């Protein structure tokens, strides 16, 4: 991109130069001035003071030899000898992308005594698992895990890398991407690939008002994080891949972090694992009216959840929010009550097997993804539905 350069000057009124920019992009820096990030390249300063401001020469874009980078890699997250399900979902998507371009699928496994997990990973159609198994890697520490990830990339040179959008993944992926000065797209909802191995990374942006289509054409590897329940895990099959056990210099695994104690979180029922969910939207007029939602959920042995407006009003625990700013779910049945169906919300539940939407607006966006649409007042429909369920249960 072009930029504005400031030529050497002296004896000028600094305040007059600062006033040239209507966006306050010219700022005082010591005894001189500088251009800050507020510059919009309107070029007003160039027109008014060409003796001081000039257009910098266009810098050619960085290029990469894409043939030097091959394969789609997945970081395998695990805890207590159990692999996080998001890793298998990413393997399925990696296989889909790799098959389109004739590339292999790799997995990176880091930890202590994790060799036993390789057989399970290979059953999901992975071509090769790279295993770093050392005592220093027993617990997740950002410095050694980043060093191992960096060693893996330098060793394998994968074209694309998929990481689960978990607390661990969101910490690790950006740090590794920064080491390679490459791009990372967080919370992707759609992934595709071009013949030249550029990955199309698509995610909602600007509060869900648009779908951002992002590519990293001039850098490798390409990083993307994806939340749990966005993609489907592939079916297990007879493994044909192999495992390679890698070593790394011990000095690279040093960490300033010392783990004194690990306290497991209290297990709670999560909407991510629920098979049936009843969702309340902003069609609910007051908090007391949520009682009918709770009763419907009880009748169906379902969990209740809410959309962002209800969370912000304090009517639901934030852990019960569905959407990109909340949780992603993939239940067998989801019933939305008074939910408009914003892009952010839809991205968090559109993988449900059966979506029943109740809304009095016939053109509500939720009907675009619903399998069954009920147009009407939720204050009439929900009680009627609840009564029918109860009558059916009592007759059995």
DSSP 283: T
- Can you give the pLDDT at residue 88? 98
> Are residues 305 and 175 part of one domain?
no
Residue 335 has pLDDT above 90, yes or no: yes
Question: Are 224 and 171 part of one and the same domain?
Answer: yes
* Boundary residue ending a domain (253, 279, 308): 253
Output the six-digit token pair for 62.
């960085």
Same domain, 116 and 242: yes
CATH number at residue 211: 3.40.50.620
Quote the number of domains for the chain.
3
Same domain, 107 and 188: yes
Token pair belonging to 130 = 């790279």
CA distances from 281 to 56, 163, 192, 269, 342 (A): 52, 31, 32, 21, 11
Tell me how far apart the alpha carbons of residues 272 and 226 are, in angstroms, rounded to a whole number: 15
> Are 87 and 218 in the same domain?
yes
Contact 222, 183 (CB under 8 A): yes
Encoded tokens for 135: 């005592």
**Among the listed residues 162, 206, 157, 210, the one whose alpha carbon sits nearest the alpha carbon of residue 186:** 162
- To which H or E segment does residue 33 belong? strand 32-35
State which residues form the domain around 328.
Answer: 271-394
Q: What value does the mean pLDDT take over residues 9-36?
A: 90
Residue 260 lies in a domain: no
Q: Of how many residues is the chain composed?
A: 396
Verify that 296 and 177 share a domain, yes or no: no
Are 207 and 288 part of one and the same domain?
Answer: no
Q: Is 123 part of any domain? A: yes
Domain boundary among 204, 223, 253: 253
pLDDT in tens, 71-126: 999 999 999 999 999 999 999 999 999 999 999 999 999 999 999 999 999 999 99
- Residue matched to tokens 């891949």: 241
Cα–Cα distance between 47 and 389 in angstroms, integer?
Answer: 73
Note the pLDDT of residue 195: 95
pLDDT for the residue 56? 84
Instruction: Return the CATH number at 325.
Output: 3.40.50.1220
Assess contact for 221 and 161: CB atoms under 8 A. Answer: yes
pTM comes to 0.80
Residues 124, 75, single domain; the answer is: yes
Q: Are residues 179 and 243 in the same domain?
A: yes
Residue 261: inside a domain, yes or no?
no
Tell me how many degrees the CA angle 241-145-88 measures, rounded to the nearest 5: 40
In this prediction, residue 394 has a pLDDT band, given cuts at 50, 70 and 90, of low
DSSP 379: H
Q: Is residue 265 part of a domain?
A: no
The Cα 152–Cα 387 span in angstroms is: 59
Domain harbouring 51, CATH code: 3.30.70
**Helix ranges, 327-377 (H):** 343-347
Q: Which two tokens stand for residue 350?
A: 């559109």
Least confident of 120-129, 131-140, 206-215, 276-285: 206-215
Confidence band for 60, pLDDT divided at 50, 70 and 90: low
The predicted-structure confidence for 144-153, as pLDDT tens digits, reads as follows 999 999 999 9
- Of 198, 222, 253, which residue is a domain's last? 253
Quote the tokens at residue 93.
Answer: 């998507």
Q: 276 and 347: one domain? A: yes
Does residue 263 form part of some domain?
no
Domain-located, residue 266: no
Q: Residue 258 domain-assigned?
A: no
Are both 51 and 73 inside the same structural domain? no
Residues 183, 110, single domain; the answer is: yes
């Amino acid at each position: 991109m072009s930029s504005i350069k400031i030529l050497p000057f002296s004896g000028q009124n600094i305040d007059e130069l600062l006033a040239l920019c209507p966006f306050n992009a010219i700022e005082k820096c010591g005894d001189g001035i500088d251009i800050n990030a507020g510059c919009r390249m309107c070029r007003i300063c160039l027109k008014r003071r060409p003796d001081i401001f000039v257009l910098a020469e266009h810098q050619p874009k960085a290029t990469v030899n894409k043939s030097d980078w091959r394969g789609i890699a997945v970081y395998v997250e695990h805890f207590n000898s159990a692999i996080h399900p998001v890793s298998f979902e990413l393997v399925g998507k990696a296989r889909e992308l790799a098959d389109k371009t004739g590339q292999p699928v790799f997995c990176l496994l880091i930890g202590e005594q994790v060799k036993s997990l390789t057989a399970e990973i290979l059953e999901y159609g992975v071509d090769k698992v790279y295993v770093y198994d050392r005592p220093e890697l027993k617990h997740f520490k950002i410095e050694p895990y980043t060093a191992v990830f960096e060693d893996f990339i330098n060793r394998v040179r994968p074209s694309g890398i998929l990481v689960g959008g978990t607390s661990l993944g969101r910490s690790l992926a950006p740090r590794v991407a920064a080491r390679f000065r490459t791009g990372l797209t967080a919370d992707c909802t759609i992934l595709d690939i071009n013949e030249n191995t550029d990955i199309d990374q698509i995610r909602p942006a600007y509060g869900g008002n648009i779908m951002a289509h992002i590519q990293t054409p001039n850098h490798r590897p390409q990083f993307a994080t994806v939340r749990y329940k966005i993609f489907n895990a592939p079916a297990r099959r007879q493994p044909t891949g192999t495992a390679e056990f890698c070593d790394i210099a011990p000095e690279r695994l040093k960490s300033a972090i010392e783990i004194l104690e690990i306290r497991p979180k209290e297990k709670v029922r999560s909407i991510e694992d629920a098979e049936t969910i009843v969702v309340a939207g902003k069609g609910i007029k007051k908090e007391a009216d949520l009682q009918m939602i709770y009763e419907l959920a009880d009748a169906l042995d379902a969990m209740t959840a809410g959309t962002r407006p209800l969370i912000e009003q304090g009517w639901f625990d934030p852990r019960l929010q569905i959407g990109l700013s909340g949780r992603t779910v993939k239940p067998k049945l989801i019933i939305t009550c008074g939910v408009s169906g914003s892009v952010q919300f839809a991205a968090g539940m559109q993988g449900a097997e059966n979506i029943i939407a109740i809304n009095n607006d016939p053109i509500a966006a939720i009907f675009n993804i619903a399998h069954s649409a009920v147009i009407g007042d939720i204050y009439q429909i929900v009680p009627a539905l609840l009564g029918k369920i109860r009558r059916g249960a009592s007759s059995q």
